[in-house]
Each structure stands twice: as C-alpha cells, then as structure tokens.
Chain A
C-alpha cells in the first residue's frame, strides 16, 4: 500500500527530473547553435531573424539579420551553450519562484473572505476541516470570478500552497460535495502533485515561447568547406526539429502525468472525507454544467479538478491522449467502488 510519503518522494524526483530536462534542453539549444556555427565557420553565417515579420517567410537574404564573420581557423566556441544554458537555469528558477502568483494572477483570483458571505465562510471552514483530516497546514484560499464550477490547486512548497475555486462552484455544490472537491485539491497538494504540475505549467509555457521564437528565425551558410557545411546543416536541421517538437513533447508529458494523478487524488479525497459518494455527486454536477471555465487558459488546464473545456467534460468522453483529465464517468465509477468497499 503506497503511502503519502512514497507519492511525495516520487513526485519530488519527477519534479527534479523535469527541471533537469528543461535545463538540458536549454543547453542543447545553445550547443546545437555552437556546433552548427563551428562546422559552418569556414565561410559566413547569417542569422536571419523573421521574428518581426509575422506569419510569412521573408525572401532569402533579406530581412533583418546578423552576419557572423568568417573565422580563419576552426575553433569551437561554446558561447551560446553558456549563455542559453544560464538563461535556462535563470528561467527555471524565476518561473518556479513566481509560479503560484503568476498562475493565480492570470485568472483574476481574489482572496476568500469569511465576512463577505455565508458561502465563503463555509468554504473557508471546509478547507480548515479537510486540512485537519489530512494533517496539513491551511493553504490560502481564492475565489475565481467564473460561473462555471471548477477548482484548482497551485503551489510548490508547504507555506506557499493555494486553492482556488470558482464562484460557480460555491453556488452549485452543497457542503458535503464542496468538502469532496476541497479534499481532492488538498490531496494534490499533499501528494506534491501540484509541485510537479505547477513546474510543468511554467516550463511548458516557456518552452512554447522559445520554440515560437526559433521558428521565426533561421541560419544560412555561405561558402566554406562543403562536407563540413553538410554536417553543420544536418546538426542544424536536427536541432530545429527538436526545438520545434519540444512544446508538444512537454505538453504530452504534462497531460499524461495529469491524468494519472486525478484518480489518486480522488482516492485520497475519499480517504479524508470518508464520503466518496459526495465527491462523485460533485463531479457529476461539474460535468453537467459543462460551460467552459473561461478564466482558466490551456496552460493551466491540468491544474483543475475537471477539464475547463466543455468538450472533454461530456459524460461519455473517451480517454484520450490529449485530454488533461480521465473521463468523468470512470472517475465516478471508481469513487462509487471505493464507497462500496466501506
């Protein structure tokens, strides 16, 4: 029987692995360039930057560009490896230290207030109750201005944990169902799923940004040794393909990790509340109100309790490689099975 400790260790390891992969990706980003430049260094190399001319390739040898002058002798200079590698470390560090506030800020979240309404008082009480059941510290609680019922958790370290629920969720669910949803989110925090998922969210976004930038620039070789030019071109093409495919790979990775975690969080929620039926009912209600959650963008979709896009939420949706969540139907089925075991 896996304990929370095991899950935490696994997630911590995975988070580290992802960060390492991200930094390695950046080093490759620089190294590929350096290698290409090295093999092309007999002649001249132009970096043609199409970044400002959106959506169309400018004709060859026009457009804003930097010409790297030909060098006399071949010499490997790992300039880009160092610069881009350091930038990768910097990005990873910056992204992770600002992750929670960035994600929440983008959703226009506002802190829940005990005195504003009975609903918010209930929410805060429910969070406190579930924290006692889960033996953990109370996270910060936020309300998202959206009529569609949904909830999410973000945070990397205990003390910087956040739970956000939409205004629609408070209006849709009763106390027991809300308890189930909150327990599900706390389970994500306790398992350190959020640590992994938040890291992924930030890094997926950054990779996409880099790839988009690279897609709009290209290198050209002029003159120099033919064979070397060919090797350089092969490296360059390989480099270009890997950079362009990276965002899809990271996205797919995020999706796979995310789907697997949902069942676990549901099971843990059942353990905390001893009321799996309530969470099952909550999921049913969330699926029934399948208006899309508009405040949540695609990059944060896997943080939510149920997919924010309406199509994935339909009760009969099949398990798919591109879904952030397993089908609601099979989640409900598993919860009811846990209920029968009691």
Chain B
C-alpha cells in the first residue's frame, strides 16, 4: 500500500515536472517570437523615417548626392530583405540592416558638417528621432538576443531538454553583431544585494 502511494507520488511529481518544463519552453518560444516581431516593428519605423529625413535635407545637401543616394539604396535593399523574414533568416536581415546603419552613420556625420542645416529646428528634432530609432532597433535586437539565448539554453537544459521535441522547439538564430563592443553581454544577477 505504502509502496503504491510512493509510486503514485513519484508519478505525480514527474508529471508536474514535465508539464512545467513544457510550459516554460512554450512561454519562452512565445517571448522569442514576440521579441523578433519587435525588431521588425522598429526596422519598419526606421525605414519610414528615412524619406522624411532625406527630403528635409535634400536642398541643402546638393554636393552630397552620393551619401543621400547610398542611404536610399541601403534602405530599399533592407526593406526587401526584411519582407517575410523569420528568426531563422535573421542573418540575412542583419546584413542588410548593417549596411543601412553604416550609410546612416555616414549621413549623420555629413549633416554635422553643415552648420546651416543644423541651425534649423526641424533637423534637430529629426536627428533626435533618428538617434532614437537607431537606439530602438538596437534595444529590440538586444531584447531579442537575450530572450532567444534563454530559449536556446533552456532547450539544452534538464528537464526542458526532455520535452523540447514535444514542444516543437528549435534553436533560434541570434542577431549577429558586427561591433565587438556591442557583443559583450553583461551578466547581471538580480539577486545581488
């Protein structure tokens, strides 16, 4: 009788363990997908902002046609790369966006060199918007990488490891960073007193 009860207890504990592991994995999968969509949203914002920016400086930047055109070209290829992208194709999108980031950085450096352009209030606000959009993209990327890493690690950990197949979990591709400084992820223990 006691043996039966013990067996029953162990079985219940095992079921509980599996169910909670399964739920954890599913929740992480959802969070990863959601974080990925966030990047998408922010990239779209960035793409939408660029025409505004280029239009407002077009007149003053006659000499810098090349810079302007490279931004527009980079934007267009980034848009085509991001249509229908999934976490699995993160690498391709990242490459196209990397080119756009470089073009925008060059562009902003050029704007800095035109004091007349900076003097108009509109450019100040647009610059702030662009700076913020760049930050939003990189923070969305950071949030995606953090959740995806947690998701990936949990698939290889016990006991989630055992239910990974049932939950349909697969390794999410991280958004590769080209900047070495950005690559360092600080490990912050929230329990630190």
Q: Do A and B come from one complex?
A: yes
CB atoms of A274 and B142 under 8 A apart = yes
CB atoms of B190 and A4 under 8 A apart = yes
Which residues of B lie under 8 Å from residue A133 when comparing CB positions?
139, 142-143
Instruction: Please tell me which stretch of B65-73, B80-88, B99-107, B129-137 contacts chain A, meaning at least 4 of its Cβ atoms lie within 8 angstroms of it.
Output: B129-137
- 0 or 1 for each of B31-44: is its CB under 8 Å from A? (1 = yes): 10011001000100
Instruction: Please tell me which stretch of A101-109, A119-127, A232-240, A312-320 contacts chain B, meaning at least 4 of its Cβ atoms lie within 8 angstroms of it.
Output: A119-127
The residue among A3, A122, A129, A276 with the most chain B CB atoms within 10 A of its own CB is A129
Report Cα–Cα, A291/B23, bound state, in Å: 51
Give chain A's interface secondary structure class: helix
Instruction: Please tell me which stretch of A206-214, A241-249, A262-270 contacts chain B, meaning at least 4 of its Cβ atoms lie within 8 angstroms of it.
Output: A262-270
Which residues of A lie under 8 Å from residue B42 when comparing CB positions?
132
B residues contacting the other copy or chain, number (CB 8 A): 28
Report Cα–Cα, A118/B128, bound state, in Å: 8
B184 interface residue (CB < 8 Å to A): yes
CB atoms of B186 and A7 under 8 A apart = no
Q: Using a CB-CB cutoff of 8 Å, which residues 32-61 of chain B contact chain A? A: 34-35, 38, 42
CB atoms of B140 and A132 under 8 A apart = yes
- 0 or 1 for each of A258-294: is its CB under 8 Å from B? (1 = yes): 0010011001101110101000000000000000000
Q: A128-B136, A135-B143, A341-B186 are in contact. Are A263 and B192 (CB under 8 A)?
A: yes
CB atoms of A267 and B143 under 8 A apart = no
Q: Which of A121, A134, A274 contacts B186 (CB 8 A)?
A: A274
Which residues of A lie under 8 Å from residue B184 when comparing CB positions?
342
Q: A132-B143, A341-B186 are in contact. Are A125 and B132 (CB under 8 A)?
A: yes
CB atoms of A267 and B188 under 8 A apart = yes
- Minimum distance in angstroms from A192 CB to a CB of chain B: 13
Q: Using a CB-CB cutoff of 8 Å, which residues 132-165 of chain B contact chain A? A: 132, 135-136, 139-140, 142-143, 147
Report Cα–Cα, A181/B191, bound state, in Å: 20
A338 interface residue (CB < 8 Å to B): yes
Report Cα–Cα, A76/B123, bound state, in Å: 77
Closest Cβ neighbor of A267 among chain B residues: B188
Which 4 residue pairs of A and B lie closest in terms of their CB atoms, listed nearest first?
A125-B132, A2-B191, A133-B139, A271-B188
On B, residues with C-beta under 8 Å from A are: 31, 34-35, 38, 42, 124-125, 128-129, 131-132, 135-136, 139-140, 142-143, 147, 184-193
Could you write out 28 A-B pairs with CB less than 8 Å apart?
A1-B189, A1-B190, A2-B190, A3-B190, A7-B190, A121-B125, A125-B129, A125-B135, A128-B132, A128-B136, A129-B132, A129-B135, A130-B139, A132-B38, A132-B136, A132-B139, A133-B142, A133-B143, A135-B31, A175-B131, A267-B189, A267-B192, A270-B186, A271-B186, A271-B188, A272-B139, A274-B185, A338-B188
